[in-house]
């Protein structure tokens, strides 16, 4: 028998637990898993199951309202900056104190709670206060890509729901079942890093193969001058803009579906439109970062191949091979450093310009 949790492809263990939790819920759940493990979808499905009298039948009006973001008792908290601010969490707590309009629960959803312990003014204390004294008909759904020790106190007040990244084989099989050509499905799955939504977007991108080739061609095209490194950085940055275009199309289609659903329920517009726009912008940012990491991985592959070739030549007695080995090692170090710096919210153009300048010197 189908239900809302059938939407969580590749998350059978989590879906089984969520079906059980929906029948006798507690006050707070923390969903954890890597980017692309369907955290957002899992919380939306669980919220629908909590509001549904059949615990997530997927066909009733209540399920449809939640899944189309039309349930006024399901509040998706909005973050305006790179970290959660205290006033944003206090607004979520204010909503949590309201009585539900319907017979279900007041559900507060806060994504990326790891960002309550970051930034110049960490806001975790405000969230902890909310979790300690919630109203009886309020349920908090939180998510985090990574559970650091700093989140231990928050985790101790929640039931943890773990989701996993999908294997390349799983992603390829899902895409193939949706009608994607097998070769394209394999390429998109390899580039998605376990992220199903990213894999689906990449499967709609005819330029994926050419972008991989462009990244791999960089070492041969760097001509040993600062000008060539700047030109290469601009070209790669432009390819990132092109890579985001299919995601923008997917988001536009999603917005159109929500507008249609709102009209079906007699509403003039999409509930929480500002939150949705902010979510789309964050997703585009994450997509650019993921695309950059994917490109750096492809670039690393070229230098790893050069490293192996150099080591084999050195073992065969080529006296000049040591220079090639050391050059490849320095290039791999530079790429690894650039990959690490991506987490600091640094502009990709500056990061790639610096990387290309270092590579051109090798």
Q: What pLDDT score does 143 carry? A: 95
* CB distance 21 to 50 below 8 Å: no
Other CB atoms within 10 A of residue 274 CB: 10
Which runs of consecutive H residues, i.e. helices, occur in 38-119?
A: 39-51, 61-67, 86-96
Domain limits, the chain? 4-162, 205-360
Whether the pTM exceeds 0.85: the reply is no
* CB distance 107 to 114 below 8 Å: no
* CB distance 106 to 135 below 8 Å: yes
Average pLDDT of each block of 10 consecutive residues along the chain (362 residues)? 85 94 96 85 95 95 91 88 86 93 92 86 90 92 91 95 88 88 88 83 86 90 81 88 86 85 75 76 83 89 92 90 92 91 76 90 78
Q: What pLDDT score does 272 carry? A: 66
Superfamily of segment(s) 4-162: P-loop containing nucleotide triphosphate hydrolases (3.40.50.300)
* Rounded Cα gap, residues 53 and 104, in angstroms: 8
DSSP state of 24: S
Nearest to 46 by CA among 81, 3, 79, 103: 3
Q: What pLDDT score does 328 carry? A: 93
CA distances from 323 to 6, 39, 228, 306, 359 (A): 55, 47, 23, 11, 15
Q: What pLDDT score does 128 carry? A: 93
By CB atoms closer than 10 A (0-12, 13-18, 19+), residue 293 is middle
Give the relative orientation of helices 226-264 and 273-315 as an angle to the nearest 10 degrees.
140
């Amino acid at each position: 028998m189908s239900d809302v949790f059938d939407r969580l492809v590749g998350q059978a263990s989590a879906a089984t637990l969520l079906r059980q939790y929906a029948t006798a819920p507690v006050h707070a759940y923390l969903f954890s898993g890597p980017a692309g493990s369907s955290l957002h979808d899992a919380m939306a499905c669980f919220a629908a199951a909590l509001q549904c009298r059949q615990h997530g039948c997927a066909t009733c009006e209540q399920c449809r309202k939640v899944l189309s973001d039309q349930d006024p008792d399901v509040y998706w908290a909005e973050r305006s900056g790179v970290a959660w601010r205290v006033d944003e969490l206090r607004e979520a707590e204010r909503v949590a104190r309201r009585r539900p309009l319907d017979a279900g629960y007041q559900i507060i959803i806060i994504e990326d709670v790891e960002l309550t312990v970051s930034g110049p003014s960490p806001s975790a204390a405000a969230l902890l206060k909310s979790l300690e004294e919630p109203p009886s008909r309020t349920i908090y759904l939180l998510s985090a890509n990574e559970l650091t020790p700093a989140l231990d106190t928050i985790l101790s007040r929640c039931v943890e729901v773990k989701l996993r990244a999908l294997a390349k084989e799983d992603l390829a099989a899902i895409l193939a079942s949706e009608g994607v050509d097998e070769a394209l499905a394999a390429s998109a799955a390899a580039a998605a890093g376990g992220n199903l939504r990213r894999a689906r977007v990449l499967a709609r991108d005819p330029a994926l193969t050419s972008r991989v080739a462009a990244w791999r061609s960089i070492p041969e095209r760097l001509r040993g001058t600062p000008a060539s490194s700047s030109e290469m950085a601009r070209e790669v940055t432009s390819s990132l803009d092109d890579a985001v275009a299919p995601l923008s199309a997917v988001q536009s289609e999603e917005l159109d579906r929500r507008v249609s659903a709102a009209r079906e329920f007699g509403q003039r517009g999409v509930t929480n439109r500002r939150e949705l726009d902010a979510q789309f912008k964050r997703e585009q940012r994450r997509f650019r970062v993921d695309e950059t990491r994917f490109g750096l991985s492809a670039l690393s592959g070229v230098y790893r191949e050069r490293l192996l070739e150099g080591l084999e030549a050195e073992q065969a007695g080529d006296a000049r091979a040591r220079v090639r080995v050391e050059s490849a090692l320095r290039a791999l170090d530079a790429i690894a450093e650039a990959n690490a710096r991506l987490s600091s919210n640094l502009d990709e153009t500056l990061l790639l310009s610096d990387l290309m300048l270092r590579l051109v010197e090798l």
